[in-house]
């Protein structure tokens, strides 16, 4: 392997935020990504349910392939011998000494999508309480790869409605938490060599999600770091996060396969990758909706 493009990757997923970042008061997000690559039309996974979405992000495959649901990730540990290893496993195999962290308010992500033997530091708490813990972890450990999930925005969407004043206000409050994490990377002296990513897993319609309406399927995806092109990201799916992380860590990605790995490098992030073909696989998003009216339940309601 050649030299990594970044020594560190920090990913923050704001659960249930959809594309509503563009409607909320987010001064920190706007400042952090003013010279970055941003879109509010990234495509979520179908159905737009958390386990399906996080499975796609961390495994690089479509929900129809990984088969994870909220009940499955809550009840069963992720298999150690899966044909679709998580990003954590792939990074650990390539860099045995890497510091890896999964700090998720919804802890089934860490238990049900990340291998238990991958040596991943983890913590679970309400995102407001968890952010200082994350900041201390960054300053102390300087993680190679850190995956953060903030859950409170989705909770407000379910209780008050997606896109409502209360929902947008919670995005505004989480905007400050994102800035705290970024500042911790600055204080740790690693920000100049960090790929910093903020995205949402899905949005919502009314008080629920799981369908394929515009407010459910279109989400925010923002990237900053050395060499990132300023402007709008072209086509991108949330599962492309997996391909992006492997690319910047110089880890060979699996061969593209509609029955397996379908994460790709989007155009409009790194100039040198824009010549790579980006395949249209919209025909794979035909899964039926499974509507969630309660935060993080995949039961048909």
Q: Where are the domains of the chain?
A: 8-284
Alpha helix (H) residue ranges in 5-49: 27-32
Beta carbons within 8 Å of 260's beta carbon, 6+ residues apart: 61, 65, 83, 84, 254
In the prediction, which pLDDT does 287 show? Answer: 74
In the prediction, which pLDDT does 1 show? Answer: 46
What's the pTM value of the predicted model, to 2 decimals? 0.96
Which pLDDT tens digit goes with each residue over 152-210?
Answer: 999 999 999 999 999 999 999 999 999 999 999 999 999 999 999 999 999 999 999 99
Which pLDDT tens digit goes with each residue over 53-75?
Answer: 999 999 999 999 999 999 899 99
Cβ distance 223 to 197 under 8 Å? yes
In the prediction, which pLDDT does 207 show? Answer: 94
CATH of 8-284, one of 3.40.720.10, 1.10.3720.10, 3.40.50.300, 3.40.50.720: 3.40.720.10
In the prediction, which pLDDT does 122 show? Answer: 97
d(CA 107, CA 127): 12
Supply the Cα-derived Rg of the chain in whole angstroms.
17
Cβ distance 59 to 254 under 8 Å? no
∠22-159-42 over CA atoms, to 5°? 30
Question: Residue 211's closest CA among 149, 112, 285, 263?
Answer: 285
In the prediction, which pLDDT does 301 show? Answer: 42
d(CA 125, CA 103): 8
In the predicted model, residues of the chain with pLDDT beneath 70 are 1-2, 297-301
Question: Residue 184's closest CA among 141, 135, 149?
Answer: 135
d(CA 243, CA 249): 10
Tell me the helices (H) and strands (E) count for the chain, helix number first. 11, 8
d(CA 56, CA 63): 6
Q: What is the dihedral angle through the alpha carbons of 38, 41, 47, 50, rounded to the nearest 10 degrees?
A: 30
For residue 128, give both structure tokens: 């407001």
């Amino acid at each position: 392997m050649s030299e990594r493009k970044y020594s560190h990757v920090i990913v923050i997923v704001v659960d249930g935020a959809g594309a509503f970042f563009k409607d909320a008061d987010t001064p920190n997000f706007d400042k952090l990504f003013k010279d970055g690559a941003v879109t509010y039309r990234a495509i979520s996974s179908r159905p737009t349910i958390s386990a399906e979405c996080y499975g796609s992000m961390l495994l690089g495959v479509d929900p129809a392939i990984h088969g994870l649901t909220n009940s499955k990730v809550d009840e069963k540990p992720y298999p150690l011998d899966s044909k679709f290893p998580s990003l954590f496993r792939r990074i650990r195999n390539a860099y045995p000494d890497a510091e890896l962290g999964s700090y998720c308010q919804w802890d089934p992500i860490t238990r049900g999508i990340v291998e238990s033997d991958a040596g991943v530091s983890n913590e679970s708490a309400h995102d407001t309480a968890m952010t200082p813990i994350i900041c201390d972890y960054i300053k102390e450990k300087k993680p190679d790869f850190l995956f953060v999930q903030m859950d409170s925005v989705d909770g407000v969407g379910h209780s008050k409605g997606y896109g409502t004043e209360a929902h947008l206000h919670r995005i505004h409050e989480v905007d400050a938490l994102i800035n705290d994490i970024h500042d911790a990377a600055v204080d740790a002296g690693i920000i100049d060599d960090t790929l910093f990513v903020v995205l949402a897993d899905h949005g919502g319609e009314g008080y629920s999600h799981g369908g394929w309406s515009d407010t459910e399927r279109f989400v925010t995806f923002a990237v900053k770091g050395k060499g990132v092109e300023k402007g709008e990201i072209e086509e991108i799916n949330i599962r492309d996060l997996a391909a992006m992380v492997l690319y910047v860590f110089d880890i060979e990605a699996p061969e593209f396969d509609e029955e397996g790995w379908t994460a790709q490098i989007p155009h409009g992030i790194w100039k040198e990758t824009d010549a790579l073909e980006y395949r249209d696989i919209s025909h794979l998003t035909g899964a039926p909706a499974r509507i969630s009216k309660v935060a993080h339940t995949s039961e048909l309601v």
